[in-house]
Structure 1
Amino acid sequence: MRRFIALLSLVLIALSVWQLEADRTGLTISPLGVEGGTPATLFLNNSGGAAPVVVIAHGFAGSRQLMEPFALTLAQAGYVVASFDFEGHGRNPRPMSGDVSTIDGTTRLLMEETGRVARAALAHPRADGRLVYLGHSMASDIVVRQALEEPAANAVVAISMFSEAVTADEPRNLLVIAGEWETMLAEEAVKAMRLADPQANAGDVVGDPAQGTGRRAVIAPKVEHVGVLYSATALTAARDWLDASFGRDSEGPVAQRGGWIVVLLVATVALAWPLARWLPAGAGAMPPPLSTRRFLIAALAPALLVPLLLAPFEIRVLPVLVADYLALHLGLYGAMTLALLWHWGQLQGQFPARIWWIGCAVALFGIAVLGGVLDRYVASFLPHAGRVVIIVGLALGAVPFLLADGILTQGGKAQLWRVVMVRSAFLASLGLAVALNFEALFFLLIILPVIVLFFLLFGTMSGWVGRRTGLPAAGGIGLGLVLAWSLGVTFPMFDAGAL
């Protein structure tokens, strides 16, 4: 069985990679030099001629990789496509700055960066002088506002848009796309269209794109805020809208990557099971499980106490939004849980010498193997030098937290209700922290889906390691390093003056 699962996982990984790489066939993908050093990528169809430029901007905590379905689809259609990492995001070493609460602060700086990328792309020999801005979520407002100030902007594609800058006739040729399951933003899409025609419905075309007066709202079925980026409906609508705006009849495939990315991630996670089976087996020296009463105390007391204890303090040490608070929350949460477990004798025999190399092996697989997949096909996962201190700071909190989590859940051997209770209590603890200081910690809400996904993917792998080796602490150490890395490369860097 172990060899069969390993072989099947490798076959699915190879098939997924082949399918995903096929989307790049016929394209030249190369760095684009931008004034100020903004990391940017240029996508060109090898058989195309002069064409309009499409500048693609990602949302908050995103990166160029997340927008690749649109970049590949539009490049295959013959457009000159430039995608980039905003300051503070992805590979961009420059932190976000300015006043985040005003249009003339951070928003203005991001608009200027978007404009610099557009000028660099328009200078390419294949650019015909016409320009499109495409942005998702946070960037939807950025591209709308930049288009209003950019004479060369002929069209805007705003995905998951919320922008107060849209008027009845500006920006020109506006296509608004939203996922069916992001209800409020879907309503905003229709609202933007009805500024031009109060009787219009989603899917209608208002005005004439060929004359620069077009407007349309498209609702992509059965997708949410991230899924909309992989929706065939959204990708096709964007390509067709640009063709209508520029009088083109594009050919080329739509980069339907979402399904293959899921297959690749599942197969990569599944590969961890046979690899875990090759680790040295051991019954371990785990003490008997905690009684229900003691377990509930260990699971729930830190969840309640940590946000209450930290609420009075303003914590700004790391140059990443809410990362310093999160590191302290994780560390204090883990320390409290470990103290209770030590008091009840649950740490006895948990730290033999071999846990360190096993923990490092878990971290290596999570960061290098699964992280490499994520970096290539999903979102930026490789840090620049400025993020190293952030990862180290988060590790000081994440390792104790996941060490306690691993021991409390007995390395995957605990009853399912106990595992669910432990993870749900932590998520609720973060929710309570936000409720106590909403203005300062609002962005913690954004990481909740990331942590849920982390528990599902990496928690499953840690359980395989714990059940095989009998060492819950090994998986906890490895997962702590992976969590610190994942959060450290994801959240935007902020200059102190922006907070």
Structure 2
Amino acid sequence: MIRFRPFVGIMALLLCFAALFQLERARAGLQISDLRIGTTPVTLYQRAPSGPVIVVAHGFAGSRQIMQSYSLALAQAGYRVLAFDFEGHGRNPKPMSGDVTAIDGTTALLVAETRRIIAYARSLPGDNRVGLLGHSMATDIIIRASIAEVESNQPVQAVVAISMFSQAVTADSPQQLLVISGQWESFLRKAGLDAARQVNPAAAEGAVVGSGPTRRATMVAPGVEHVGVLFSTSAVQAAQDWFDTSFKHTSATKPTPRGWWILALLDGIVLGLYPLAANLPAGPTAPAIPTRRFLLAILIPLALTPLLITPVYRNFLPVLVADYLMLHLAVFGALQLALLRIWPRRPSTAAALSALVLALWGIAVFGLALDRYAANFLPTPQRLPIIAALCLGTIPCMLADSHLTQAGRAPIWRRVAARLALFASLIMAALLRPDDLTFVLIVLPVFALFFLVHGLMGRWVGQRAGAWAAGVGLGLCLAWALGVSFPLFAPA
């Protein structure tokens, strides 16, 4: 395998260069400006200071970056686009607040924030007509904002709701509404169809229906789910066509694919670590663990961790479920290390260096690319102490994981079983305290992606430098990923 490492490095570089060329081409000719409206960070995309304005809003745990496929395409088509980070999300320093279960709580605050962005959009020189586009959580927000604008005699011209669920939709409001769902979002597809059938009971997916000034349509993006719909070229095209009809606007361009190029760039960065890892200082090989001890080390923490923590857990960090995750991972990892009879010790300089390389590659190189093209990965100052606190849980957990899996050398059934045990333990915690910990379930896809991407990089480093280097490096990466992903929240 050693002789293939230079070839892998060259392929990684070529993949990254090709992807960067395509991704940067999508920005060519645009004026992209970052600004603030109150405390809300906003990015203005435009080819020229004219054209209708589209306000773009992201979903829960999202950011402006994850909406770029729509923002860039609409800006290239001649619209001006204002994309913003909701309170508690992305680079917005102000936490979410209020009662998340009440319409007049958190929802009302986010609607008010959206309407401030709409007001700013109308204050821009030139065409002051406004359209709204939002994903997931934001669909309910933009629909309620559009209704409030009508009540203030300032109606928006069109709404595009992606992966929509909102109880605020009525037979005549919003008047110009397109609902886009991914093919694999069966529940949300039904919600979109129900909205169209309020206007015409015979409405079908893909058809435009109308009654008087009200116009509705539902569109299904093929082969995608809740996140993939944000990178679907056909979905972006449908949104652009809807705005073109609503504004009687002729688009200058058609959307170009971005999702596969983002994936190519991130794949290239991951592959780039493979030849680099071979040059790290060699470390000890993690010993094989007897099957009986391995099973005890995954099953006992699985059962005990939620039983020990959920009865006494109280919020103490200003990020949704970050405090519980820190405690859960710390106890889970500590139990595993104790059962494996692996005790804390000072790592060698070589192991520390290798852990630092893994952390820098996973956070700075991979993370900065992710931040520019796909999702927020840079923390606000308020999040830095949260990341530090999360390290108290993520490092013990990843250390235990690296030893359990022999830094990736263990049979695949052991690697899968070790990760599934952690998932099962988190699910058990959510079931024990559903009112407080349901949001823990949202973390599971993040963990799955982390093990798929960073876990692979950790495996390469661990096989060369040892389990301690992989465990510490992955622990730092996981703390960072969790700390920047989930919303800041200040309870009412």
* Short-chain TM bin: over 0.9
Q: Which residue of 2 aligns with 1:182?
A: 185
TM-superposed deviation, 1:214: 1.1
Mapping for residues 198-237 of structure 1, pairs under 5 Å: 198-207=201-210, 212-237=213-238
Aligned residue among 368, 381, 388 for 1:372: 368
Q: Which residue of 2 aligns with 1:91?
A: 91
Mapping for residues 91-240 of structure 1, pairs under 5 Å: 91-126=91-126, 128-150=127-149, 151-207=154-210, 212-240=213-241
- Equivalent position amino acid for 1:6 in 2: G
Matched residue of 2:471: which SS? helix
- Does residue 61 (structure 1) correspond to residue 61 (structure 2)? The answer is yes
- Are the aligned partners of 1:169 and 1:196 in contact in 2 as well (CA < 8 Å)? yes
- Are the aligned partners of 1:302 and 1:333 in contact in 2 as well (CA < 8 Å)? yes
- Does residue 476 (structure 1) correspond to residue 476 (structure 2)? The answer is no
Q: Which residue of 2 aligns with 1:453?
A: 449
Q: Which residue of 1 aligns with 2:28?
A: 25
- Are the aligned partners of 2:39 and 2:93 in contact in 1 as well (CA < 8 Å)? no
Distance 1:459 1:37 in 2: 36
- Equivalent position amino acid for 2:489 in 1: F
TM-superposed deviation, 1:99: 1.4
Distance 1:317 1:350 in 2: 30
Structure 2 gap ranges (5+): none
- Are the aligned partners of 1:285 and 1:350 in contact in 2 as well (CA < 8 Å)? no
- Equivalent position amino acid for 1:420 in 2: V
- Are the aligned partners of 1:306 and 1:333 in contact in 2 as well (CA < 8 Å)? yes
4+ runs of 1 displaced by more than 6 Å? none
Structure 1 gap ranges (5+): none
Distance 2:247 2:203 in 1: 23
CA deviation profile, 1:349-380 (whole Å, cap 9, x unmatched): 99433211211111111110001111011111
- Are the aligned partners of 1:58 and 1:66 in contact in 2 as well (CA < 8 Å)? yes
TM-superposed deviation, 1:212: 4.3
TM-superposed deviation, 1:130: 1.0
Matched residue of 1:320: which SS? coil
- Does residue 467 (structure 1) correspond to residue 463 (structure 2)? The answer is yes
Q: Which residue of 2 aligns with 1:43?
A: 45
- Are the aligned partners of 1:285 and 1:349 in contact in 2 as well (CA < 8 Å)? no
CA deviation profile, 1:56-96 (whole Å, cap 9, x unmatched): 00000000000000001111111111000001000000000
Q: Which residue of 2 aligns with 1:388?
A: 384
- Equivalent position amino acid for 1:472 in 2: A
Distance 2:228 2:400 in 1: 33
Aligned residue among 349, 356, 371 for 1:353: 349
Mapping for residues 291-370 of structure 1, pairs under 5 Å: 291-342=290-341, 346=342, 351-370=347-366
- Are the aligned partners of 2:121 and 2:128 in contact in 1 as well (CA < 8 Å)? no
TM-superposed deviation, 1:285: 5.7
CA deviation profile, 1:189-231 (whole Å, cap 9, x unmatched): 11110010001101111127xx842110111111100000111
- Are the aligned partners of 2:13 and 2:268 in contact in 1 as well (CA < 8 Å)? yes
Distance 1:212 1:248 in 2: 18
- Does residue 269 (structure 1) correspond to residue 265 (structure 2)? The answer is no
Q: Which residue of 2 aligns with 1:488?
A: 483
Distance 1:255 1:122 in 2: 28
Q: Which residue of 1 aligns with 2:259?
A: 258
Matched residue of 2:97: which SS? coil
- Equivalent position amino acid for 1:381 in 2: F
Q: Root-mean-square deviation (CA), in Å? A: 1.5
Matched residue of 1:339: which SS? helix
Distance 1:219 1:433 in 2: 35
Distance 1:348 1:495 in 2: 35
Q: TM-score, normalised by structure 2?
A: 0.96
